[in-house]
Amino acid sequence: MDEAGCGGCQVISAEQRSSKHWELTGEGCEIAEQGSHEARVFSSIPDEGMPQGQLMKLAFGKVGFSKAMSNKWIRLDKGHEGGPRVFRTVENIEDSVRDKLLVVQKGQSSQLEEKEKSELKKRKLLSEVTVKSYWITKGSLFSTTITKQETELTPEMIASGSWKEKKFKPYNFEAMGVAPDCGHLHPLMKVRTQFRQIFLEMGFTEMPTNNFIESSFWNFDSLFQPQQHPARDQHDTFFLSDPAQAHEFPLDYLERVRKVHSEGGFGSQGYKYDWKIEEAQKNILRTHTTAVSARMLYKLAQKEKFTPVKYFSIDRVFRNETLDATHLAEFHQIEGVVADYGLTLGDLMGILHQFFTKLGITKLRFKPAYNPYTEPSMEVFSYHEGLKKWVEVGNSGVFRPEMLLPMGLPEGVTVIAWGLSLERPTMIKYGINNIRELVGHKVNLQMVYDSPVCRLDA
Amino acid sequence: MPTVSVKRDLLFHALGRTYSDEEFDELCFEFGLELDEITSEKDIISREQGDTKAEGASDVILYKIDVPANRYDLLCLEGLVRGLQVFKEKMEAPRYRRVSPTSGEPQRLVITEETAAVRPHAVAAVLRNITFTQERYDSFIELQEKLHQNVCRKRTLVAIGTHDLDTISGPFTYTAKPPDDIRFTPLNQAQEYTATELMNLYKTDSHLRHYLHIIEDKPVYPVIYDSNGIVLSMPPIINGDHSKISLNTKNVFIECTATDLTKAKIVLDMMVTMFCEYCEEPFTSNGNAIKLPEETLMDESTERIAQLLTKMCLRSEVMSDGEQIEVEIPPTRSDVIHACDIMEDAAMAYGFNNIIRTTPRTYTVANQLPLNKLTELLRQDLAAAGFTEALTFALCSQEDIADKLLKNISDTRACHIANPKTAEFQVARTTLLPGLLKTLAANRKMPLPLRLFEISDVVLKDETKDVGAKNNRRLCAVYYNKSPGFEVIHGLMDRVMQLLEVKPGRDEGYHIQAAQDSSFFPGRCAEIFAHGKSIGRLGVLHPDVISRFELTMPCSALDIDIEPFL
């Protein structure tokens, strides 16, 4: 409303009022003085008429001519010898336009009808003017002496004690403060930090996943995924043209892998197809971090004595699939692995419960599923209070013997594992619908600036 | 996951009871299926082509069910019903037997050596005294299509042909001939064509043209004849019209030609076992037995386990020693190749959610990966220094890491993708800078200055690694404002060194010296040395780089390798 004070303690108070009235435009004034264009046309035509061309040359000719014609004050004889000629049709005229303008000029515009006024406004002869005015009245603190209000305490005031005599301008508690000029962490990375923390709290060791490029051997074959499997298609996997092939493998292990795929062994019938090393050598962008888990388990198996382990990783994987609002070609996979003697499905469920409890999820259900490298496999579902239904939160399973035994792991050792994506819980947590606003260069920076701390169990 | 579409009412009729949608959903959950969608033909057409085209289409309710990718025996109504009925113990697990014909010899399919060049394997079977209805017939055709799309890998591995046995006579010959020598009337045509002519004819057929490539360029094409020279089929393209099946067909001859013999047998087994229930003597075929030792994942008696397995169509009996179980694997269960497959079925029959959860007693102490630990620490302090973290794509276009940075692609040690769908996936990034610059460009409307950073991996070719490439963890920051802010970026670099406990100074500490780099403004670029080694660069970006990334303000950047600091 005003700036001369603030709510309650005012020196003056001001009220804004506005009013409208009609005024003549510049052209309107000219007409009020000299008459309308059409009237002037009329009066300039002598009894014998006037050539049209000559009339048109007059300043008021063009507009006046057409108006006078429509008023039927003049007529045009097109076929007249010497060219088209304009004649008067009546003796006298009434310049109503000028009359109306004079009325308005006298301040009596209310005498005219609205229709008449808007017509004149259309001809740009009248304009409606709004006048804004302020009505000032004395406020509760009115005084004719000027007291200046201080805004802030200064060092001088503190030193001299002069603050005791000063009046301070009231602070506007309704406004926001000044945003600190700080940096921000990316929401997806904040969630990653939390998941990393959860794994560390549960005693899991971080796997080295800093290798986006992987051979088909470690990504597929060592996991007992057959070479004809659709996931190894051009459609789902990114193949490398340079470097196109991996050139180093543990050869005796590779031979055992070849055998279990093509002939069976280790208690299995195998897939019974021709296993080709050329397929295994093909380099790809890894489709899952399980490839790293395979490398780690192989390394573990090479040790003299087996020791139980718990491993985890959270890193980028690549899929050559169709993209949409929730799918990109690259995303982050979270994976946990436990290897020990005699682990059971009950143990897998137990560890999943512990893991998900740290995310604030306590109600879980398990559904039979299929993965080429785990058997049994279980999809993990949790109850979403908001949607009132069970939603999938992860995938899990027990690695197949055909994967573990060729590595050289002892027979009684079971390896359980589970995984989920990082993006999905992040999008749910931060209420983001389009993954491109979260990941990649099209990120909404304001969203990054504004995103809250990540508390997964809140 | 493959999807099977079944008419709901037919399904319930075969199951012997109706279910509410929720009840059926629950049943699917237990069995490992997913009720993906409840729809009708009308709904489907309406969604794809609009309501007017959908007029007159059937609104019979369809269930679209997702089945596990390795369960070829659940790809049709018959298989689903059988699996569910046995699971619910409403029906005994079928035993499939092979029977001989009542009169005469079994049929023979002779394979000649010419096929070795193009499609070496074939198997065949006969379904006798079968009765088709329209529904069964549709299901029969649909299963072939499903198998073709899935396990047959779009007919490249296996192709199925089904024929009315009473219109042809054995023994049958599977051979391969030059395309001009093959001549027959194909399915749904009125005249004869040579194989060469057919290849041309089907080039415009929306369904068949996708399979032509499988044999097109071969010198000989596969073909099956009966004893009278009638062509049964030219796999994997098309069957002959002569032997086509109708609702009146009583005896079916099924042939599967293949490049993978194991798969051919699996496919043939599926066709036969699924539809033998419509023959006069249902369930006639045979399978193999596996002995399962008692190292199961549940604490149950051997008898109970045998009972559970039988619920999964794996007929089991406790052996005389009381410890081992003999499990009969039917031909429908080609997914069972190890004892662990049987154990999963036992667990499913028991109900996963009935298993008591326990805590593994594995004691381990966690360790962080040093590189990741360092990254986490630096991230926090970079944000504290006023920079905002970005997360950019690891894949980008060649331009992004070369031309736009005024560099040559051949100097970048980049790894190239063979099958990119668009230019955005041509290479793996060799530097974090393009990602950050693109982030700036996409956020132009944000208030200046913009200060971004990212600590993440780039990919570089490396012959010393087993795959020929490795990741490199780098720290990259940009400052974008009306003035370039070299001193800001320089200050940030000093701060990072301070955090890494590297003091200023040559040899033992860090120092910078002027450098030439085409991506940077001349005279405003420096190379950074720590402990005597180059670790990266900083400077004001070249105006051409700025324009090529569609930016308008000056920009300075820092790019260093943090691995030497581990």
Identify any residues that bridge with A127 across adjacent strands, giving them in sequence order: A23
Which residues on B lie below 8 Å from A380 (Cβ)? Answer: none
When comparing pLDDT for B380 and B124, which is higher?
B380
Q: Which residue has the tokens 């999809």?
A: A379
Q: What is the mean pLDDT of residues A285-304?
A: 96
User: A317 to chain B nearest CA, in Å?
Assistant: 10
pLDDT confidence of residue A68: 85
| Position A250 in a domain | no
Regarding whether A203 and A102 lie in a shared domain, the answer is no
Regarding whether A208 and A98 lie in a shared domain, the answer is no
Which residues on A lie below 8 Å from B358 (Cβ)? Answer: 344, 346-347, 349-350
Regarding whether A87 and A191 lie in a shared domain, the answer is no
CA distance B14 to B78: 9
Q: For residue A438, which phi and psi values (nearest 5 degrees)?
A: -100, -45
Domain that residue B209 falls in: 109-278
DSSP per residue over A169-200, as a string? PPP-TTS--PPP------HHHHHHHHHHHHHH
Overall domain count for chain A: 2
**Buried/exposed B455-487: b ≥16 CB within 10 Å, e otherwise:** bbbbbbbbeebbbbbbbbbbbbbbbbeeebbbe
Chain A residue nearest residue B70, CA to CA? A370
pLDDT confidence of residue A4: 47
Residue B129's nearest CA partner among B232, B276, B273, B244 is B276
CATH number at residue B548: 3.30.930.10
Cβ B62 vs Cβ B8: under 8 Å: yes
Give the Cβ contact number of residue A224 at 10 Å: 26
pLDDT confidence of residue B299: 59
Q: Which residue has the tokens 């067909």?
A: B249
Instruction: Dump pLDDT digits (tens) for A140-170.
Output: 777 776 767 777 899 999 999 988 888 888 8
Tokens of A403: 């994967």
Regarding whether B375 and B489 lie in a shared domain, the answer is yes
Regarding whether A196 and A71 lie in a shared domain, the answer is no
Tokens of A218: 């470690």
Domain that residue A315 falls in: 187-213+259-272+285-454
Instruction: Dump pLDDT digits (tens) for B533-565.
Output: 999 999 999 999 999 999 999 999 999 999 999
Regarding whether A301 and A410 lie in a shared domain, the answer is yes
> Of the candidates A79, A109, A127, which is a domain's last residue?
A127
Asked whether residue B110 carries a pLDDT value surpassing 90, the answer given is no
Helices (DSSP H) in B455-561: which residue ranges? 486-499, 543-548
Regarding whether B223 and B114 lie in a shared domain, the answer is yes
Regarding whether A95 and A193 lie in a shared domain, the answer is no
- The lowest-confidence range among A117-121, A138-142, B355-359, B497-501 is A138-142
Option in B389, B438, B465 nearest A185 (CB): B389
Q: Measure the CA angle with vertex A201, ends A196 and A203; round to 5°.
A: 100
Regarding whether A63 and A195 lie in a shared domain, the answer is no
pLDDT confidence of residue B103: 67
| CB-neighbour burial class of residue A14 (10 A; exposed 0-12, middle 13-18, buried 19+) | middle
Indicate yes or no: CB of B366 within 8 angstroms of CB of A203: yes
Cβ B73 vs Cβ B3: under 8 Å: no
Q: What is the mean pLDDT of residues A70-98?
A: 85
SS3 B388: strand
Q: Which residue has the tokens 């994987």?
A: A317
Tokens of A186: 């990316």
CA distance B319 to A310: 38
Angle between the B486-499 and B370-384 helix axes, to the nearest 10 degrees? 140
Give the Cβ contact number of residue A185 at 10 Å: 18
SS3 A117: helix
pLDDT confidence of residue B282: 61
| Position B318 in a domain | yes
| CB-neighbour burial class of residue B16 (10 A; exposed 0-12, middle 13-18, buried 19+) | exposed
| Position A144 in a domain | no
pTM of the predicted model as reported, rounded to 2 decimal places = 0.79
Overall domain count for chain B: 4
Out of A361-370, B161-170, B492-501, give the one with best mean pLDDT: B492-501
| Position A232 in a domain | no
Tokens of A121: 């406004």
Q: H or E segment at B112?
A: none
Average pLDDT, chain B: 88
CATH number at residue B166: 3.50.40.10
Regarding whether B376 and B329 lie in a shared domain, the answer is no
| Position A170 in a domain | no
Tokens of B75: 């790809």
> Of the candidates B58, B88, B118, which is a domain's last residue?
B88
CATH number at residue A408: 3.30.930.10
| Position B247 in a domain | yes
Regarding whether B347 and B470 lie in a shared domain, the answer is no
Identify any residues that bridge with B35 across adjacent strands, giving them in sequence order: B65
Regarding whether B225 and B193 lie in a shared domain, the answer is yes
Identify any residues that bridge with A339 across adjacent strands, giving them in sequence order: A309, A415
Identify any residues that bridge with B269 across adjacent strands, giving them in sequence order: none
pLDDT confidence of residue B459: 96
pLDDT confidence of residue A186: 96
Regarding whether B390 and B331 lie in a shared domain, the answer is no
DSSP 8-state class, residue B279: B
Regarding whether B274 and B292 lie in a shared domain, the answer is no
Regarding whether A409 and A321 lie in a shared domain, the answer is yes
| Position B198 in a domain | yes
Q: For residue A377, which phi and psi values (nearest 5 degrees)?
A: -120, 145
pLDDT confidence of residue B109: 83
Cβ B401 vs Cβ B407: under 8 Å: yes
CA distance B308 to B317: 11
Regarding whether B344 and B375 lie in a shared domain, the answer is no
CATH number at residue A112: 1.10.10.2330
Cα dihedral B74, B76, B82, B88, rounded to 10, equals 60
Asked whether residue A226 carries a pLDDT value surpassing 80, the answer given is yes
3-state helix, strand, coil in chain B (%, to 5): 35, 25, 40
Regarding whether B152 and B116 lie in a shared domain, the answer is yes
SS3 A420: strand
Asked whether residue A84 carries a pLDDT value surpassing 80, the answer given is yes
Cβ B294 vs Cβ B342: under 8 Å: no
SS3 B476: strand
Identify any residues that bridge with B326 across adjacent strands, giving them in sequence order: B291, B317
Give the mutation candidate from B291, B364, B426, B479 for the A interface (greatest A CB count, under 10 A): B364
Option in B343, B353, B395 nearest A329 (CB): B395
- The lowest-confidence range among A407-411, B108-112, B299-303, B467-471 is B299-303
**Buried/exposed A30-39: b ≥16 CB within 10 Å, e otherwise:** bbbeebbbbb
| CB-neighbour burial class of residue A215 (10 A; exposed 0-12, middle 13-18, buried 19+) | buried
SS3 A314: strand
Residues sharing a CB contact under 8 Å with residue A419, sequence separation 6 or more, in sequence order: A288, A289, A290, A333, A334, A335, A336, A394, A395, A396
Tell me the residue type at B395: L
pLDDT confidence of residue A284: 95
| Position A220 in a domain | no
Cβ B318 vs Cβ B293: under 8 Å: no
> Of the candidates A110, A127, A144, which is a domain's last residue?
A127
Q: Measure the CA angle with vertex A450, ends A444 and A453; round to 5°.
A: 120
Instruction: Dump pLDDT digits (tens) for B157-197.
Output: 999 999 999 999 888 899 999 988 989 999 988 899 999 99
Regarding whether A194 and A60 lie in a shared domain, the answer is no
Residues sharing a CB contact under 8 Å with residue B420, sequence separation 6 or more, in sequence order: A238, B426
pLDDT confidence of residue A321: 80
Regarding whether B114 and B75 lie in a shared domain, the answer is no
pLDDT confidence of residue B285: 39
CATH number at residue B79: 3.30.56.10
Which residues on B lie below 8 Å from A204 (Cβ)? Answer: 364, 366
Instruction: Dump pLDDT digits (tens) for B13-53.
Output: 888 888 888 889 889 988 889 988 888 888 888 888 877 77
pLDDT confidence of residue B292: 53
Instruction: Dump pLDDT digits (tens) for A23-52.
Output: 888 888 888 888 888 888 888 888 888 888
Regarding whether B297 and B268 lie in a shared domain, the answer is no
Regarding whether A444 and A360 lie in a shared domain, the answer is yes
pLDDT confidence of residue B283: 57
Indicate yes or no: CB of B340 within 8 angstroms of CB of A375: yes
Give the Cβ contact number of residue A6 at 10 Å: 13
Which residues on A lie below 8 Å from B344 (Cβ)? Answer: 368, 375-377
> Of the candidates A127, A144, A177, which is a domain's last residue?
A127
| Position A289 in a domain | yes
| Position A229 in a domain | no
Q: Which residue has the tokens 């005791």?
A: A164
pLDDT confidence of residue A402: 94
Give the Cβ contact number of residue B45 at 10 Å: 18
pLDDT confidence of residue A395: 94
Asked whether residue A235 carries a pLDDT value surpassing 50, the answer given is yes
When comparing pLDDT for B135 and B475, which is higher?
B475
- Whether A439 contacts chain B with CB within 8 A: yes
pLDDT confidence of residue A99: 87
| Position A86 in a domain | yes
| Position B359 in a domain | no
Indicate yes or no: CB of A347 within 8 angstroms of CB of B387: no
User: What band does B286 get if pLDDT is binned at 50, 70 and 90?
Assistant: very low
Regarding whether A198 and A115 lie in a shared domain, the answer is no
Option in A184, A206, A239 nearest B372 (CB): A206
Helices (DSSP H) in A180-267: which residue ranges? 187-201, 216-219, 251-262
| Position B357 in a domain | no
Indicate yes or no: CB of A183 within 8 angstroms of CB of B368: no
Angle between the A423-430 and A187-201 helix axes, to the nearest 10 degrees? 120
User: What band does A62 get if pLDDT is binned at 50, 70 and 90?
Assistant: confident
Asked whether residue A394 carries a pLDDT value surpassing 80, the answer given is yes
Tell me the residue type at B524: R
Instruction: Dump pLDDT digits (tens) for B406-415.
Output: 999 999 999 9
CA A400 distance to own-chain centroid: 43
Asked whether residue B97 carries a pLDDT value surpassing 90, the answer given is no
Q: Which residue has the tokens 């970048």?
A: B412
Chain B residue nearest residue A213, CA to CA? B469
